[in-house]
Amino acid sequence: IEKSNFLGDGRKLKLLLEDDAADKNQAISLTNRFVTRDRVSILLGPPTTVLASAAAPVANSLDTPILTIAVADVVTQVGPWVYKTYMSPDAAMTAVGKYAIEKLKAKKIALVYDRANDASVAQNKVFKEYVTRNGAEIVAEETTQVGETNFAPMATKLASLAPDALFLATTA
């Protein structure tokens, strides 16, 4: 990027990369540093709704554009300097719900979502509303959050219910 003459007028782009360690405080700190010390023109990231929700108010207060791949619409409601590339949960999860009903012919669906993630909560809500409105039965609705490691009881319960489909709205 630095050597590409990307802008076409001799100016060079400089790419600064840092790891926020999936930590909200680190995302806030890096946002402050990139804008105040490094004087960036635009911030690309953070990659999740949770982290973007922490960093976006900082970038917005410093009048610096921030572009994220966060899912939840709450991120862009921070102010005019905040943008996201991912479609809203309404559009995305309506399409997933339609696929589950029409292509998979799912009648019994189990749901698992991250209760601490606004995007996961929104995705689950839209998907659930769509599939129930179109004839599916929700046989289970389970929650998890980052850091949990023992999924055996949940998996055993879900398997015993024999759903036609399992909807997961969680981060990797």
Rounded CA-CA distance 171/113 in Å is: 9
Rounded CA-CA distance 70/32 in Å is: 19
Low-confidence ranges of the chain (pLDDT < 70): 1-8, 10-11, 172
Q: What is the pLDDT of residues 23-43, one digit of tens each?
A: 999 999 999 999 999 999 999
Longest distance between any two alpha carbons in the chain, whole Å: 64
For residues 123 and 89, the answer to whether their CB atoms sit within 8 Å is yes
Q: What is the pLDDT of residues 110-135, one digit of tens each?
A: 999 999 888 899 899 999 999 999 99
